[in-house]
Structure 1
């Protein structure tokens, strides 16, 4: 499964889809590498875009992804950006189109950087939706973005005061009553189950000489 360079929601109009299908992608003549171009994005402009109360269209979501991808790190870590993304785009969690759910996971991954962000998402039960996307979705983009967001949340959890608080000596009662006891075990268990389910099929496709000893 190849990872796409970028996830872009399909344009809503037929002319836009035609432009996307006929776009010419190639390296410049005489160049062996494509140099990464740094695009300067104004932070206030990005905030204004996030604060606008407009329809959750593909164009709007793609524009948000563009801003977040190109913002300086210190701006992406601003708590206002995370709060606005959650407030504006969390309804996409229930969208019937898996590409929209995939884009939501990507927007959350780009703006989730602290354990306070993690706590907020866990209180919204984002881990349950991520596990469902991993297990039940037939869309590769949704599964890929769900897995990447889970990895981000696990990384933050490992270094967060939340882990130390729940697993400190004498906190047994808190562990039993806490709403966070499902995470991260639930996410890790789901990933393991999916891996174990796919491993036999992967081994069947291997050459006999490359199969591990039984």
Structure 2
């Protein structure tokens, strides 16, 4: 009975977590559409409210519309005319107090995370945490700010230390480069290792396997 139960967990656990993550993302997209529809219903006269509410309640419509809007926005953003409108929108956002600080911060973070040449999660590192006698896997996220470099020196590196088993939260740390050890495993393999709480070993690259065989 124990063997069958564990085998069932091994089948359903990854499937359930995957469905939960996807459902959460789709629910967020549908929530954005719902907020827009509620605003439209509040603006239009009452005679349009039943039709708009019926359209809002159609399953999957919100997700389809939000994804279409995102794709259409991306199509416009890579065109010359779309870039002009984006610059005008950026100038408007940067002129509004409070909004400009939030907008610019999110813009920089998203550009770093989603750009192909960004420094976010560039490599997996070993750092000493939470004390000098233990090690944890972290990800290099770039170099410290100029003011930090001027006060600490150039031999420091920005790292993100994810928590286990939820790697979406964690700690941003600035650590000495000399106290880090660069790992050969990829960022994806390191994430799997962290999420599994160390129970899933990372895949060893072929070149390291050959070196290990020759050394033995």
Q: Shorter-chain TM-score: which interval?
A: under 0.3
Larger Rg, first or second structure (1 or 2): 2
Structure with the higher strand share, 1 or 2:
2
TM-score by length of 2: 0.25
Structure number with higher relative contact order (C-alpha < 8 Å, ≥ 6 residues apart): 1
TM-score, structure 1 normalization? 0.26
Structure with the largest fraction of helix: 1
